[in-house]
Amino acid sequence: MYTASDNRYDTMYYNKTGKWGLRLPPVSLGLWQNFSYSDSFENMEKMCHTAFDLGVVYFDLANNYGDPYNGSAEENFGKILRRGLGEYRDELCISTKAGYDMWQGPYGCKHGSRKYLLSSLDQSLKRMGLDYVDIFYHHVYDPETPAEEIACALDQAVRQGKALYVGISNYNAEQTAEIKKIFDELKTPFIINQPSYSMMNRWIETDGLKEYSAENGIGLAVFSPLAQGLLTDKYLGGSGTSNRPWMKHKPDDVTMSKLVRLNEIAAARGQKLSQLAVSWVLRDGKITTVITGASRPEQIEENVQAAFRTDFTQEELDAIDAIVK
C-alpha cells in the first residue's frame, strides 16, 4: 500500500486559480499519454506517486484519453487511486474533460450537448471510482451547440455535486468571454481555461486570451509546453523520430537550428531544453499551472525543478524571442 512522503509540501508552492480560492501547483501531471492499457501499469503508478510526493496535487484527465479504447486512462487512474493514492483524495485536485468523440451514435460524437456532457461525466466518475471531480471541463469549443446549453450542463454538474468547479479547454478569447457571461449569470464557479502554449506556440498571446484571463480572474492551465516533444533533447542528436501521428517524424533544418540555439540558452542556465520550456511558460506569473506529460518519474522531477527557475534576465527573454519568432 502506498504511503505518501511526509515532506511532500516542504518546498512546493501553489498558485491561485485566477480570482478563485483553489490553488494549483505550478506543474501538474497530465495523463493524455503513457496511461493506456498498452503501457506499463507499474510505471504509471510510480509516476503518480512521484508527482504527489513532490507536491504535485493536480492530475488532469479526459474521457477520451487512453488506448486501445477511450477511457482506459481514467480506468488506470482509478486503479491507482484504489491501490493507495485515493487515501489522500482530499489532498488531490482531479479533473476530467468531455467534448471529443467518445462512443458510437449521435450522443457520443464530438460536441457539447447537455446529453453528451452529463452522460460522459457519469461514465468518467464510474471509471475512476469517484463521487466527484474537482474540475470538469468542456474539452473543445463546439460551434454547433449554443453556449447556453454547454454552460447550463456544466452548471448542473456542480449543482448535482459531481464537480466542484468547471472549466473550458481550447476556447479562444472571444469564445471564453461569450460563455463567461452566462456562467456569471448562473453564478457557476467557472475558474479555468486549458489552452495549448509554448515558446513555439504563442497563440494565447496574439489572440488576447492570456491577458483577458488575467484581467477577468480566470486561471490558465496550459498544455503542450514542450510543443508535443519538440522542445526536448529528443531531436538534438539529429536522429530523433516520433511515432505520434500529430508530430513530425523529424524537424526540418530551420527548426533544428532553433532547437540547438535554445538548448544553448538552457545549458547556460544549467537546464535541459525541456526545463527551459517549462520555466519560460511560467515566467510572468500569468499561468496558473503547466500540465506536463511524462514517460518516466525522472521527467516529473525535472519539470518540478523547472518551476523554481522562472528568473529570466531580459537578455535571455530577448534571445529566446529572436530565435523562435
242 belongs to a structural domain: no
**Euclidean distance between CA atoms 87 and 55, whole angstroms:** 15
Closest by alpha carbon to 300, among 90, 110, 28, 41?
A: 28
| Contact criterion met (CB below 8 Å) for 8 and 268 | no
321 belongs to a structural domain: no
Q: Looking at residues 271-281, what average pLDDT do you find? A: 98
262 belongs to a structural domain: no
Domain count of the chain?
1
Q: Looking at residues 114-139, what average pLDDT do you find? A: 98
The secondary structure element, H or E, covering residue 190 is strand 190-194
Quote the pLDDT of residue 67.
86
Range of the domain at 137: 15-227+283-310
Cis peptide before 189 (omega within 30 of 0): no
Quote the pLDDT of residue 243.
45
Closest by alpha carbon to 220, among 291, 150, 162, 157?
A: 291
Q: Looking at residues 225-247, what average pLDDT do you find? A: 70
63 belongs to a structural domain: yes
Quote the pLDDT of residue 241.
44
Banded model confidence at residue 237, pLDDT cuts 50, 70, 90:
low
Over residues 183-201, the pLDDT tens digits come to 999 999 999 999 999 999 9
| Contact criterion met (CB below 8 Å) for 294 and 50 | no
Q: Name which residue leads in pLDDT, 238 or 114.
A: 114
pLDDT > 90? residue 245: no
| Contact criterion met (CB below 8 Å) for 288 and 16 | yes
Q: CB-based burial of residue 248 (10 Å sphere; 0-12 exposed, 13-18 middle, 19+ buried)?
A: middle
Residue found by looking up cell 544549467 in the block: 270
Banded model confidence at residue 249, pLDDT cuts 50, 70, 90:
low
Render the burial of 117-155: b for 16+ CB within 10 Å, e for the rest: bbbbbebbbebbebebbbbbbbbbbbeebebebbbbbbb
Q: Give the number of other Cβ atoms within 10 Å of residue 156's Cβ.
A: 17
Q: Give the number of other Cβ atoms within 10 Å of residue 95's Cβ.
A: 28
Quote the pLDDT of residue 239.
44
Closest by alpha carbon to 294, among 59, 68, 78?
A: 59
**Euclidean distance between CA atoms 278 and 260, whole angstroms:** 17
The secondary structure element, H or E, covering residue 103 is none
133 belongs to a structural domain: yes
What's the whole-number average pLDDT of the chain? 95
72 belongs to a structural domain: yes
User: Cα 50 to the chain's mean position, in Å?
Assistant: 17
The torsion region of residue 311 among left (phi > 0), alpha (psi -120 to 50) and beta comes to beta
Over residues 76-103, the pLDDT tens digits come to 999 999 999 999 999 999 999 999 999 9
Quote the pLDDT of residue 33.
95
Q: Looking at residues 122-127, what average pLDDT do you find? A: 98
Q: Give the number of other Cβ atoms within 10 Å of residue 83's Cβ.
A: 15
Banded model confidence at residue 247, pLDDT cuts 50, 70, 90:
very low
Render the burial of 257-292: b for 16+ CB within 10 Å, e for the rest: ebbeebbebbeebebbbbbbbbbbbbbeebbbbbbb
Over residues 21-54, the pLDDT tens digits come to 999 999 999 999 999 999 999 999 999 999 999 9
253 belongs to a structural domain: no
DSSP for 221-242, please give it.
EEE-TTTTTTTSTTTTTS----
* CATH number, domain containing residue 122: 3.20.20.100
| Contact criterion met (CB below 8 Å) for 112 and 175 | no
Over residues 145-187, the pLDDT tens digits come to 999 999 999 999 999 999 999 999 999 999 999 999 999 999 9
56 belongs to a structural domain: yes
